[in-house]
Amino acid sequence: MKEFDQFAGRKYIVGGLVILLAFIYVVKLFVIQVVDESYQLSASNNVLRYVPQYPARGLIYDRNHKLVVSNEAAYDLMVIPSQVASFDTAEFCRILDVPVEEVRNGIRKAAGYSRLKASVLVKQLSARTYAQLSEKMFKFPGFYVQPRTIRHYNTPVAAHMLGYVGEVTERIIKRDPYYKMGDYIGISGIEKSYEKQLRGEKGVKIYLVDVHNRIKGSYKNGKYDTAAVVGKNLIACFDKDLQQYGEYLMHNKVGSIVAIEPKTGEVLCEVSSPGYDPALLIGRNRSKYFPALTQDTLKPLFNRAIMASYPPGSTFKVVNALIGLQEGVLFPSSTYSCAPGYYARGVYVGCHIHHTPLNLEGAIQNSCNAYFCHVFRNILDNPRYPSVYQSFDAWKHYLEQFGFGHKLGVDLPNELNGFLPDTSYYDRYYHKNGWSSLTLISMAIGQGELGLTPLQMANLAATVANRGYYYTPHVVKEIEGSASIDKKYHIKHKVGIDSVNFAIVVDGMDLVVNGAPGTGSTARIAHIDGIRVCGKTGTAQNPHGKDHSIFMAFAPRDNPEIAVSVYVENGGFGSTYAAPIASLMIEKYLRGKITRKWLEERMRNTDLIHGVQEK
Amino acid sequence: MEYRRSKILGRIDWLTVLMYLALVIFGFVNIYSSAFREDHPGILDFSQRYGKQFYWIVAAFILAVMGFMINTRFYYFFAYPLYFLSLLSLLAVLVVGATIHGSRSWIPVGAFHIQPAEFAKVATSLALAKYLSYYNRSLDQFKTLLNTSLMIIAPAFLILLQPDMGSTLVYVAFVLVLFREGLPASVLIVGFLFALLFFMTLVLDKTIVIIGLFVLTAVIHLFLEKKVNFTLKGIAMILLTGILFWAASELTGKNFSVYTIIFLSLIVAGIVFIPFFYRYKLKKSAILYAVLLGSVFFAFSVNYVFNNILEEHQRTRINIVLGIESDPYGSGYNVNQSKIAIGSGGFSGKGFLHGTQTKFNFVPEQSTDFIFCTVGEEWGFVGTFLVIAFYLLFLLRILMLAERQRSSFNRIYGYSVFSLLSFHVLVNIGMTIGLFPVIGIPLPFFSYGGSSLWAFTILLFIFLRMDADRMEIAF
């Protein structure tokens, strides 16, 4: 215990220090709160209003720089509940042309969200209403108009590919703080996958607003404002005219057309039928039409081109032929007879009547089932592999390289994988070693477990057109102001099959369309004078109803410019609808006009939905 | 027993208790306003901050009574065990702590989180008071100074590891206690000069600081030795070695940095000087030169620590207060918004629950570290002036109580209470009005948060008990 306290005097220094600092603080506070005007927003209870500056969304053009999606101005009426004073409700509602109840409920709802932040009360006023309202705005404290832009479509085309924009949901707001209540975001299609580029960057303007709801000026001369950055424009890959023509042909049919430029992988058109008018999903329309579109049993919102998985049918014979040639179990000269049909140990695969025996070219030309049953079994029972497991895996490996069984990686959301079974699938279905090449025989002719999206099918056509490689299909060609689109669209994917083998198959596909009459060509109807179309028909058995009509093709035979796949659900034989439609699409794209008006008429007027068929 | 208790309560300093209550209640009023939501207006609504704070205040009152009811002897005898216990808790938090806002500072206890750093202040104060109150301990002894420093630095270091820069810096407050207990002025002056050098290094370019130090040393040397000849020769020597090193680095192509050259030439020149110092008995010159070397080294270290050890946000905060950087939307955002909020209050404020800056959540950490903004915005200059005046009276009252203690244990503890509270109040308010870097420490009794309220309450009421016992027990 210390008795003598020699430093007692230091208490004055300590106490003095604290008093001095307190004094300095009071002076500083006096400066901030009373002297310095720049901090003064409060004299008449001024309020800062943060008005987001919405940039115009990027425009979308087609491959020929024709404008497809643009913007138009819209005005949202905003309300800040805490600033609302009593006002003439009747006049207010008369100008807006909405029931009083709706306004009351709207304000109540907005107050429930936040009394101090702005909420949208009425969306997208017309320019006229806006003009009337702005004259009287001073009478309605707590309300203001927020200009923004909504989508505008010059032609109702390519709704699925373009997609639509809609208001953000709370889940999105939580995930990405960029979005605020009432903001718009791309919900499907290009609008979704290129959201970041299209939306630009919001800015903010800060205003001083007095109690009478009048903007007194910008806060600190706009020192803290940020400018909005306009969204980037996109050049899409599709050809507006071709797309429109495809939709025209698919009228009253269910199915899809996908066309790809083989040498680039650019998607020239992507039709999913039935479609819808994209204008139905803009702004206020959306709440009106969206439920009807979702409830439609034909699912018009469903993008069949990338979201539907179909059995490829006989078009798949082309793939088996290529694999057989590459694996060395099939030669161009190999001939097999057709009974008609294929018989083996109690298994029977039927065929139609044609010349027999046929070589490979002829088998493709005639689409002989028996021939390809032999080919498929030779692939799976290849003595090079110890068991069917290894040969199956080798076969499957080729298919994967063709892009089957997984997403191709198109720049659209919700692409489907398709389906490609693996050995464990069959082990589960039968049992271990309980299956053989014969068990899987239906896959020889593209039936059975296989599932391909129309996009994958079109990509197959493009791969054959290129004689052995493809570029990942994509729908956007160019982002304005950006160096390039995603680099993955410039990578050449080789499928692991030599181009000489493709040459043989292409010969067969040439005969399918251009074979002499009476030689059994399955799709002579697809022939166009002066354009060498190569194609392959397919008829997929459909357990739910009539067969699907399928056709894949590319043209011209040398230096192909377009590869196309057509699916017509319940259309019967591939040659009935799919082949003519594909042929018309090719003619439209390469020539820009149609000479075979009669065929166009027949396709256009066929109604497969309402049970009315032409002729 | 009943009689004794009433006697103890009779001796409590009611003025301090009333001031404490006033601060807690006005603090709650402001938390209520800053976190107010119309759909949850009830003050007992536990889903809201004010609801939680209400329960924490009730708990704090219970802790106050408990802290007061325990005899001073207990605190004296258990000072060291409590200190080690708190060090253990600080170690424990590094292992089992929950990470909130990037700091591992919280021990989860049921639904709550306890911040051991807040309670460590109480334990450190007790231990420091006990250690320094021993007979014969004097702060001009090197050993006492060293041990005292270690006692303060140990918890501060552990808190720094969390990392919680704010709570670490709070331990600087103990310098005030040491000063009162006789810390030699020379230690303070040297410390102050180094602090000055520290800030100069950060504000100015280090080359300028080094040239400044060099010129200053030359001038002082001239005055000390009064021999122009020696001073000039010294300067010439240093410049010569500097030029030699520069030439060497150029010729060998090693490209030393300017700073390496300066540092190396100062060291080599120093070695050359040593025989002269002996021969002419230039003790003052020797010390001066050592100080120059030390300062240059210190300036380099500060630069290094600042650029390589401190984290980005800490750097920018310091830069903002020093006026080097202005970034109203980035790190300066808090301070800028805080100043706008306070400034917008004007002379008389916008009124209770009518703050707009507050309501729009412009000011982050509104109810914790920036609670003073709410006072400024809603109660205006009148409010801030009264709050500061009230805090000042409260602090001076504690200072007075500390000075009236008869035992040094009580007095030192009292001074710790005073110093810690003063530091918190001054730094917290200072950062809301831009006079101090934002280091994130709460405003005592005012800010939202259970741990700090409880720790400050216990800190205060232990002292009030000591004060009540001052006539009976002395150590």
Complex ipTM: 0.80
Same domain? A484 vs A337:
yes
Under an 8 A CB cutoff, do A25 and B399 touch?
A: no
Same domain? A344 vs A256:
yes
In which residue are the tokens 């709160």 written? A33
**Is residue A43 less than 8 Å (CB to CB) from chain B?**
yes
Say if CB A99 and CB A75 are below 8 A apart.
no
Say if CB B235 and CB B227 are below 8 A apart.
no
At B176, phi and psi to the nearest 5?
-60, -40
Could you tell me which chain A residue has the CA closest to the CA of B40? A112
Q: Which amino acid is present at A414? A: N
- What is the rounded CA–CA span in Å between residue B8 and residue B18? 17
* Axis-axis angle for helices B14-34, B371-403 (nearest 10): 170
**Is residue B391 less than 8 Å (CB to CB) from chain A?**
yes
Under an 8 A CB cutoff, do B408 and A2 touch?
A: yes
Q: Among A2, A11, A32, whose Cβ lies nearest the Cβ of B180?
A: A11
- What is the rounded CA–CA span in Å between residue A437 and residue A444? 10
Q: What SS3 state is found at A485?
A: coil
H or E element, residue B259: helix B258-279
Q: Spell out the SS3 assignment of A260-299.
A: EECCCCEEEEEEEECCCCHHHHCHHHHHHHHHHHHHCCCC
pLDDT tens digit string along A376-415? 999 999 999 999 999 999 999 999 999 999 999 999 999 9
Please name the residues in contact with B469: beta carbons below 8 A apart, sequence gap of 6 or more. Answer: B8, B11, B71, B72
Band of pLDDT at residue A503, cut at 50, 70 and 90: very high
- Residue in B36, B38, B398 to test binding to A, most A beta-carbons within 10 Å: B38
In which residue are the tokens 């504000």 written? B203
Q: What SS3 state is found at A517?
A: coil
Q: Spell out the SS3 assignment of A170-190.
A: HHHHHHCCCCCCCCEEECCHH
Evaluate if residue A19 carries a pLDDT over 90.
Answer: yes
How do the pLDDT tens digits run along chain B, 475 residues long? 444 555 777 788 999 999 999 999 999 998 888 777 666 667 777 777 888 888 899 999 999 999 999 988 899 999 999 999 999 999 998 888 877 766 777 888 776 778 899 899 999 999 999 999 887 788 888 888 899 999 999 999 898 888 777 888 899 999 999 988 888 877 888 788 877 877 777 767 777 888 888 888 888 888 888 888 888 888 888 888 888 888 888 888 777 777 788 888 888 888 888 888 888 877 888 888 888 888 888 887 877 777 777 777 777 666 665 555 554 444 556 677 777 778 878 888 777 777 665 554 555 566 778 889 888 888 989 999 999 999 999 999 999 999 998 888 999 999 999 999 999 999 999 988 888 877 778 999 988 888 899 999 999 999 999 999 888 765 6
**Distance, first Cα to last Cα, chain A:** 119
Q: Is residue A614 part of a domain?
A: no
Please count the helices (runs of H) and the strands (runs of E) in chain B: 20, 3
At A55, phi and psi to the nearest 5?
-75, 155
Per-residue pLDDT, A43: 38
Per-residue pLDDT, A411: 93
Q: Is residue A613 part of a domain?
A: no
Helical spans, DSSP H, in A163-261: 170-175, 189-193, 195-199, 240-249
Same domain? A260 vs A401:
yes
Say if CB A238 and CB A62 are below 8 A apart.
yes
Query: Rounded to whole angstroms, what are the CA distances from B85 to B82, B97, B119, B462?
Result: 5, 16, 10, 18
Report B:274-333 residues touching A (Cβ under 8 A).
Answer: 328-329
Evaluate if residue A1 carries a pLDDT over 70.
Answer: no
Under an 8 A CB cutoff, do B345 and A33 touch?
A: yes
- Binning chain B into helix, strand and coil, the percentages to the nearest 5 are 75, 5, 25
| Highest mean pLDDT: which range of A170-179, A246-255, A290-299, A439-448 | A246-255
Per-residue pLDDT, A337: 87
Say if CB A348 and CB A341 are below 8 A apart.
yes
Same domain? A182 vs A262:
no
- From chain B, pick out residues whose CB is under 8 angstroms from the CB of A41: 340, 344
Compute the nearest-CA separation of A453 from chain B (Å): 48
Q: Cis before residue A262, ω within 30 degrees of 0?
A: no
Residues constituting chain A: 615
Burial of B218 (0-12, 13-18, 19+ CB in 10 A): middle
Burial of A563 (0-12, 13-18, 19+ CB in 10 A): buried
- What is the rounded CA–CA span in Å between residue A6 and residue B180? 10
Which CATH number belongs to the domain containing residue A567 in this structure? 3.40.710.10
Q: Do β-strands A347-349 and A342-344 pair in parallel, antiparallel, or remain unpaired? A: antiparallel
pLDDT tens digit string along A99-117? 888 888 888 888 777 776 7
Under an 8 A CB cutoff, do B385 and A115 touch?
A: no
Q: Spell out the SS3 assignment of A32-77.
A: HHHHCHHHCCCCCCCEEEEEEECCCCCCEECCCCCEEEEEEEEEEE
Report B:329-388 residues touching A (Cβ under 8 A).
Answer: 329, 339-340, 342-347, 350, 354, 356, 359-360, 376, 380-381, 384-385, 388
Chains A, B: CB pairs < 8 Å: 115
Of A596 and B316, more confident: A596
Under an 8 A CB cutoff, do A42 and B181 touch?
A: no
Same domain? A323 vs A198:
no
- Where are chain B's structural domains? 2-21+58-192+319-469, 204-310
Could you tell me which chain B residue has the CA closest to the CA of A25? B430
Give strand ranges (E) for B21-96: none
pLDDT tens digit string along A133-149? 888 887 888 888 887 78
Q: Is residue A30 part of a domain?
A: no
- What is the rounded CA–CA span in Å between residue A71 and residue A523? 44
Residue numbers of the domain that contains A125? 48-80+97-135+143-236
Under an 8 A CB cutoff, do B180 and A14 touch?
A: yes
Q: Is residue A292 part of a domain?
A: no
What are the structure tokens assigned to B67, written together? 């802290």
Per-residue pLDDT, B319: 67
Could you tell me which chain B residue has the CA closest to the CA of A113? B39
Q: Do β-strands A203-209 and A215-218 pair in parallel, antiparallel, or remain unpaired? A: antiparallel
Q: Among A2, A15, A34, whose Cβ lies nearest the Cβ of B135?
A: A2
Q: Measured at the alpha carbon of residue A279, what is the angle toward residues A273 and A285, in degrees to the nearest 5?
A: 115
Q: What SS3 state is found at B375?
A: helix
- What is the rounded CA–CA span in Å between residue A144 and residue A148? 13
Report B:175-234 residues touching A (Cβ under 8 A).
Answer: 176, 179-182
What are the structure tokens assigned to A520, written together? 């059994």
Same domain? A367 vs A390:
yes
**Model confidence pTM above 0.95:** no
In which residue are the tokens 């307190």 written? A22
Per-residue pLDDT, B82: 94
Q: What is the DSSP letter of A546?
A: S
Q: Is residue A498 part of a domain?
A: yes
At A145, phi and psi to the nearest 5?
-105, 130
Same domain? A223 vs A339:
no
- What is the rounded CA–CA span in Å between residue A388 and residue A442? 16
**Is residue A117 less than 8 Å (CB to CB) from chain B?**
yes
Residues B149-168 as b/e (b if ≥16 CB within 10 A, e otherwise) read eebbebbbebbeebebbbbb
What are the structure tokens assigned to A242, written together? 């071709």
Longest CA–CA span in chain B (Å) reads: 90
- What is the rounded CA–CA span in Å between residue A550 and residue A556? 20
- What is the rounded CA–CA span in Å between residue B336 and residue B341? 9
Proportion of chain A above pLDDT 90, given as a percent: 48
Query: Rounded to whole angstroms, what are the CA distances from B9 to B17, B19, B110, B461, B462?
Result: 11, 16, 34, 12, 13
- From chain B, pick out residues whose CB is under 8 angstroms from the CB of A24: 435
At A537, phi and psi to the nearest 5?
-85, 165
**Is residue A414 less than 8 Å (CB to CB) from chain B?**
no
Evaluate if residue A4 carries a pLDDT over 60.
Answer: no
Same domain? A261 vs A376:
yes
Radius of gyration of chain A (CA): 34
Query: Rounded to whole angstroms, what are the CA distances from A354 to A320, A358, A365, A366, A550?
Result: 21, 9, 10, 7, 20
Per-residue pLDDT, A553: 95
Chosen domain end from A181, A216, A236:
A236
H or E element, residue B90: helix B79-96
Residues constituting chain B: 475
Same domain? A229 vs A244:
no
Closest by Cα among B465, B413, B470, B472 to B12: B465
Count how many domains chain A has: 2
Per-residue pLDDT, A560: 95
Under an 8 A CB cutoff, do B433 and A25 touch?
A: yes
Q: Cis before residue A300, ω within 30 degrees of 0?
A: no
What sign does the dihedral B181-B182-B188-B191 (CA atoms) show? negative
What are the structure tokens assigned to A581, written together? 């439609």
Evaluate if residue A179 carries a pLDDT over 80.
Answer: yes
Closest by Cα among A2, A148, A158 to A75: A148
Of B40 and A594, more confident: A594
- From chain B, pick out residues whose CB is under 8 angstroms from the CB of A204: none
Per-residue pLDDT, A45: 43
Say if CB A125 and CB A76 are below 8 A apart.
yes
Under an 8 A CB cutoff, do A15 and B329 touch?
A: no
- What is the rounded CA–CA span in Å between residue A215 and residue A199? 28
Distance of CA A55 to the CA centre of its chain: 23
**Is residue B408 less than 8 Å (CB to CB) from chain A?**
yes
Per-residue pLDDT, B329: 45
Same domain? A435 vs A569:
yes
Q: Is residue A2 part of a domain?
A: no
Of A287 and A447, more confident: A447
Per-residue pLDDT, A74: 81
Supply the DSSP string of A401-431, one letter for each residue: HTT-SS----SSTT----B---HHHHHHHS-
Per-residue pLDDT, B307: 74
Which CATH number belongs to the domain containing residue A70 in this structure? 3.90.1310.10
Band of pLDDT at residue A173, cut at 50, 70 and 90: confident
Under an 8 A CB cutoff, do A42 and B474 touch?
A: no
Same domain? A147 vs A251:
no
- What is the rounded CA–CA span in Å between residue A446 and residue A317? 7
Could you tell me which chain A residue has the CA closest to the CA of B380? A33
**Is residue A20 less than 8 Å (CB to CB) from chain B?**
no
Q: Is residue A356 part of a domain?
A: yes
Q: Is residue A5 part of a domain?
A: no
H or E element, residue B456: helix B450-469
Q: Among A7, A25, A41, whose Cβ lies nearest the Cβ of B180?
A: A7
Per-residue pLDDT, A614: 41
Q: Cis before residue B81, ω within 30 degrees of 0?
A: no
* Axis-axis angle for helices B371-403, B408-432 (nearest 10): 160
- What is the rounded CA–CA span in Å between residue A126 and residue A166? 19
